[in-house]
Amino acid sequence: MTILLLARHGQTPSNAQGLLDTAVPGPSLTELGRQQAQALADAIAHQPVRTIWASNQTRAQETAEPAAAQFGLPVGVLPGLREVDAGDMEMANDRPSVDRYLHALGEWMQGRFDVRMPGGELGYDVIERYDRAIEDAVSAVSSDDGAVLVVSHGAIIRTWATVRAQNLEPGYGSRNPLSNTGVVVLEGDPERGWNAVQWMDQAIGGPEVSADGADGPAADPAPLDVTSAAEAAEAFAVGTEPDTTDITDGEDDAYTRWRTRAGG
């Protein structure tokens, strides 16, 4: 069984300004973002990471570099891991534009993949290209041969993990944010499917590297029309949800608990 670590990149200037900045190659990390990247590497140093992958966006590759140095591994680049294209809302930070972006994500997390991001991608295409990228990322690791680190982006991680984790209900990622260097941990493989083990929504390095809310729109919950009425009509429970305890809640934090379960 492969352990899949889906880590969101560190903070960028666009995150700090609340911008929907999704184009390739995109911005570099802020100084805080670089600190978050190092904290990510330190936090997973005990894990049996066999391969490291990042999207073709600068911020993801820069976030992966400290972990690559830690493990002595190269960073493979998979364009399919890139962020969900903001389309007509690119570089906007006004509330209506952000809500339109999040609304499309929320629709996809409910299984309505025929919805198109305004001026951007169809849900079907987003899930398909991320599926292919994850298959490529895990293909070099045998099912009992350790962990794969994927450094990607907030909106796409929340969407794909909600859709593909068999133990998460529809819309789960709409309600649960993912701050810079938050990590979603899954176990399984592309053939038999994935189960979510942990949804660590805050920066994995703890409060010392928290962006204090300056994580960008990809960390925001979806608008209420997706997360309340639609979910009340359609959501169903398919298993036990992962432990979503904030990882910054003291020594016995969620990351420590996950590490113990994973044998680290």
Q: Show which residues are catalytic.
A: 9, 83
Q: What Rg value do the Cα atoms of the chain yield, rounded?
A: 17
Residues 6+ apart with CB under 8 A from 122: 113, 114, 115, 116
Strand 2-8, strand 183-189: pairing: antiparallel
Among the listed residues 167, 158, 54, the one whose alpha carbon sits nearest the alpha carbon of residue 109? 158
Strands 147-152 and 75-77, how do they pair? Answer: unpaired
Listed residue (111, 71, 84, 79) closest to 22, CA to CA: 84
| Residue-by-residue DSSP string for 15-39 | HHTT-----SS-----HHHHHHHHH
